[in-house]
Amino acid sequence: MAYTNSSLVSYTKLSPNHSGQRTHSIDRITPHCVVGQLTAESICGCFTSPSVEASCNYGIGKDGKIALCVEEKNRSWCSSSRENDQRAVTIECASDLKDPYAMTTAVYSSLVKLCTDICKRNGKKKLLWLGDKNTTLNYSPKSDEMVLTVHRWFANKSCPGDWLYSRLGDLASKVTAALGGSSSGSGTSVLYRVRKSWSDAKSQKGAFNNLDNAKRCADSNAGYSVYDESGKVVYTGKQTASGGAGTPFLVKVSATDLNIRKGPGTNYAKTGKYTGKGVFTITEVKSGTGSTAGWGKLKSGAGWISLDYAKRV
């Protein structure tokens, strides 16, 4: 499929910071928070100098105006992941300077329109939010599916901010509805929610049309279950809270510099030691700050590691 750019763009200032044409077709969209209530023009202005070594495909200004910084056919330098940026259209959105990096209604509604347009031009009928790093990165999208990814999975950042992160399920269902895909025509496309408990809506990892995807998400997050629309548990994840039936299990670590901490969270001190590459036994899983997939206790007694950087084997 030939690459095109969005006709929703009303300002173009191309950045020199990109890798030339993508080596992977587009099947992901990665929305970011630019950290500042900037105009579309100033978002482009952030990326005009080669020395910043960063860019994005599109920028959305605080008033909803859409700008083009790197043509869709080219790989932008945006998400701290070469693999992701080869296949993702990256979008920097004007946001507040501070947590939860809230965005204006105008930005959000432009984001819905831009994502819809990107899906349409790239032959996609659905935008999916799978809600979890491991589930998403291990998922092979069907030819008509586009998948949302987030910067925080690839770097120690809060991007796209909790404001947008908590709305990604809504973004996916709005875009899918606009594309006329699934969602049984009623406008209520979201069915299965993955949470710690029904009343703890903030713990929600994702909302899924597909029960299998919801189960997979619950399995990879300690203490999570799948709930139907009325709040009834339809499935309990394999790793229940603290310890859990699923433990012990083996994980593979591919990073050389994965920190071992004294407790389950980035709020616990580093031990100063790293796991190094290898396969390790996890005896307990707990949720905690700074890790989407939870924290795993090393059998050796050395401490805890973030399961975001470990693959279950």
Q: What does the binding site for Zn ion look like in residue numbers (CB under 5 A)?
A: 32, 151, 159
What's the CA gap between 243 and 142, in Å, rounded? 36
CB of 21 to Zn ion, least distance (A): 22
For Zn ion, the closer CB: 136 or 176:
136
Q: Which amino acid is at 148?
A: L
State which residue, 30 or 225, has the beta carbon closest to Zn ion. Answer: 30
Q: How far is the CB of 157 from Zn ion (least distance, A)?
A: 6
Q: How far is the CB of 59 from Zn ion (least distance, A)?
A: 12
Comparison of 32 and 193: residue with beta carbon closer to Zn ion: 32
Other Cβ atoms less than 10 A from the Cβ of 111: the count is 25
Q: Give the shortest CB-42-to-Zn ion separation in angstroms.
A: 16
Strand blocks (E) in the chain: 11-12, 18-21, 28-33, 58-60, 66-68, 74-76, 88-93, 126-128, 145-148, 192-195, 206-208, 225-227, 233-236, 249-253, 259-261, 270-274, 278-286, 295-298, 304-306, 310-312
When the beta carbons of 107 and 305 are compared against Zn ion, the nearer one is 107
In eight-state DSSP terms, residue 258 is P
DSSP 72: T
DSSP letter assigned to residue 68: E
Beta 66-68 vs 145-148: how paired, if at all?
A: unpaired
C-beta closer to Zn ion: residue 33 or 285: 33
Minimum distance from residue 149 beta carbon to Zn ion (Å): 11
